[in-house]
Structure 1
C-alpha cells in the first residue's frame, strides 16, 4: 500500500482502489491522482476495510476477482455497515461477466460495472462525478454545523438577555404603578398607566422568548398535577379583563373538568388563545370560551371570535414568527406556536377552523392524564 493510512487527509478527497495486482494499483494511482484527490490503495478486502474505518471515501473502485475475499463479498460487507453503506462502488473486472454476476454486482450496491482495460476518460469522468458529490456533501455538512452552532448561540443569548431584562422591567412597572396611584395630575396618571401597560406587554414578550428558547433547545418540560381546568381558565380570563377592561368574554363549562395538567403552562395556553381572540375579534362582540368535559378520556376547549383567517394564513398559524394575522399586531408571532407546543407536551392537539358563520374557532383536545412521554 503506497499511502500511510494514519496520515491526515486534510481537504483532499479520498478515492479507494482495491486490486490484488500491484501493477494495476500503480496504474490506477497514476491515472486518478491529481491535486485535491488522494488515492488510497489496498491489495485485498481486509486491507480495504481497514482503510474504510479510517477514511470517508468519495468512491470505491473494486476488482471483482481477488483471492480470499472477492469484490462482491467486500461490497456486501460495505453495504452492511452503517459507516460505508452510502459509499458508491464501481466494479472493475477483466473478463466478460454473466448476467447473473452483473445482477449480483448491482445487488451488492454497485453504481457501475466496468470491464478492463478501462477507458481512462470514461473512468475519470465517472470518478469526477462522485468526487464532486462528495465535496458538495462535505460543504453541506459544514454549513449545517455552522448553522446549528449559530442557532444554539442565538437561543442562548436570547435566554440570557430576556432573563436579565426581568429585573429592570419589574422596577419600571412598579414605578409606573406608584405614579398612577399617587399622582395628582390626571395627565401624569394616564402616563403612568401607559407605562404600566407597556411594561406588561414587554413582560409577555420576554416570557414568550424564554418559552421559545426552551422549546427549541429541548428544555421544555411539563409538571402535571391534579387540577380543575375551569378554575385555571377563569384565572386567565380575570387577568385578561384586568389588562383589557373593555374585553367581553363569555365563559362556559360543562361536565367534569378535573384533569392532570401543568397549571402554569395551561394558564399560558388559555391566556394566549383568549387574548388573541379578544385582540382580533370584532369590537363589542363577546369572545366565547367553552370547556366541555363530558367525554370520559379528554376535555375539549373552544375559543371563538368573529372574523375569519385566510386559508393560506391558517397553514402558518402555529409557525414561530409567522402567526400574526395582522401586520400591526403588538406581539412577536410566538403566541400560537407556544400554545401548540404546550398542548402537544400535554399529549393533546390544537386546531383552527375559520370561515364557518363568519367565525374563527380554536379547539383544544386535552387528555385527562398527560402521557408519560410528555
Structure 2
C-alpha cells in the first residue's frame, strides 16, 4: 500500500441514518485514523454531501422519513458522478425477502440487519476502504505513466529534430562530393557516408514513429488510393540502391481506403527489409492481388530464409531479422513492428512465411474502412 495515500489522504465513508444515536454508534464502531466519517440524517443531506465528497462506501438506513434508503439509492445510481459508489443497506425491519431483493435491485453490495455485529461491520467496511485506496493508487500511477509517456514523446521528438539537422548536412555534402569528385576512392567514401546517413535517418524516423504510437496513438487520414501506383513509386525510390532488382506487379482492383502516408511507409519498410536481409543475388517481388471483392493482398518476397524460431517474434520491437547476409544485422529492429502496427490500425493483418529458401511477407487489407475502424483510429497501439 502506498504510504503517502495511507497517511495523508483519508478515505470518506458516508453514513445515512435519521436517528442521531445510530449515527453516533456507527461512528464509535468505524472511527480510526485514515477514515473520515461523513454523517447525514436524511436523503437530501446525503445527496448534498455527495456533490463534493469522494466516497468509498455509503452505509444507508432503509427506513427514513421522506426519502427512504431505496429512493436515495436510485438517485445515487442515477448520477454519473456517484453511480459507482458501493451501497450497503442497514435496516431494523424483519428479514423480508422482497425488501432484500429490492435493495440489491437498487444496486446494494450488501444488506445488513440491525443490530449489526460490530466486528462484522468493521471488516466489511475495511474491504471497501482497501479497494478504494487501491483504485486511487492505480489512478495516480496511470496519470504518472501518461505524463511520463508524454515527456518521452517530447524528448524523442526534440532528439529526432536535433539529430536530423546535422544529418541532413552530412547527406547533402556527400551528394555534392558524388556529383563533383573524380577520384574513385573519394567517390567510394562519399557513397558510404550517404548510405550510412540514410540508414541513420531511417532509424530516427522509426524511433519517432514508435514514440508516437505508444504515447498518443495513431490517427489515420483515409482516402481512396491505388496501392499499385504507391508501390511503383516506392520501387522507384529504391532504384538507385538496387537497380532492376525490385519488380512490382498486380492483378484486379488495387484501390483501397487507406492513409497514403502510412501505407507508403509500410511498403517502404517491407521493401527495405527485403533489401537489407534478403539474398542480394535474388530479385525482390512485390505483388498486389485485388481480385477479392472485400480485401487486397500485398506480398513482398525475397531470397533467403528466416530461422523458424524467429518467425514468432518477427513483428516484435527491437527483435530484428536474421537474414542470409551475415552483415545485415544493422538497424533497430523496428521496421516490421511499425508495419504490423500500421496494418492493424487499418483493420488488416501481416504474416510471414519462409520456406524453400524464400521469404514472403503478406499484408491483407480490408478494401473499405468500417465504422468501428474509424472510431478507433486514435486509440493508442
For Structure 1 versus Structure 2, the TM-score category normalised by the shorter chain is 0.7 to 0.9
Specify the alignment match of 1:3 in structure 2. Answer: none
Residue 246 of structure 2: which of 245, 249, 254 is its match? 249
Specify the alignment match of 2:333 in structure 1. Answer: 333
Specify the alignment match of 2:77 in structure 1. Answer: 79
Contact 1:222 1:265 in 2 (8 A): no
Distance 2:343 2:79 in 1: 40
After TM superposition, give the deviation of residue 143 of structure 1 in Å: 0.6
Contact 1:309 1:354 in 2 (8 A): no
Contact 2:288 2:297 in 1 (8 A): yes
Give the SS at the match of 1:35: coil
2:284 aligned with 1:287, yes or no? yes
Contact 2:222 2:257 in 1 (8 A): no
Contact 1:232 1:267 in 2 (8 A): yes
Distance 2:330 2:297 in 1: 29
After TM superposition, give the deviation of residue 358 of structure 1 in Å: 5.9
Report the CA distance shift for 1:26/1:340 in structure 2 as closer, same or farther (over 3 A): same
Distance 1:83 1:131 in 2: 18
Give the SS at the match of 1:41: strand
2:323 aligned with 1:324, yes or no? no
Query: What TM-score, normalized by structure 2, do the two folds share?
Result: 0.82
Q: Indicate the structure whose relative CO is greater, using CA pairs within 8 Å and at least 6 residues apart.
A: 2
Unmatched tracts of structure 1, length 5 or more: 1-9
Give the alignment's Cα RMSD to 1 decimal: 3.0
Contact 2:305 2:355 in 1 (8 A): no
Query: What TM-score, normalized by structure 1, do the two folds share?
Result: 0.84
Greater mean alpha carbon deviation, residues 286-295 or residues 356-365: 356-365
Residue 228 of structure 2: which of 230, 235, 238 is its match? 230
Report the CA distance shift for 1:99/1:302 in structure 2 as closer, same or farther (over 3 A): same
Greater mean alpha carbon deviation, residues 352-361 or residues 126-135: 352-361
Residue 268 of structure 1: which of 265, 268, 273 is its match? 265
Unmatched tracts of structure 2, length 5 or more: 1-7
Q: Please give the residue correspondences for 1:144-163 in structure 2 after superposition, counting only pairs within 5 Å.
A: 144-163=142-161
Distance 2:75 2:355 in 1: 60
Report the CA distance shift for 1:90/1:259 in structure 2 as closer, same or farther (over 3 A): closer
After TM superposition, give the deviation of residue 335 of structure 1 in Å: 2.1
Give the SS at the match of 2:321: coil
Distance 2:217 2:293 in 1: 31
Q: Please give the residue correspondences for 1:180-219 in structure 2 after superposition, counting only pairs within 5 Å.
A: 180-183=178-181, 186-215=184-213, 216-218=215-217
Q: Deviations over 1:85-109 (max 9, x none)?
A: 2222222122331122222222222
Q: Please give the residue correspondences for 1:289-328 in structure 2 after superposition, counting only pairs within 5 Å.
A: 289-295=286-292, 298-305=295-302, 306-308=304-306, 310=308, 313-314=311-312, 317-319=314-316, 321-322=317-318, 324-326=320-322
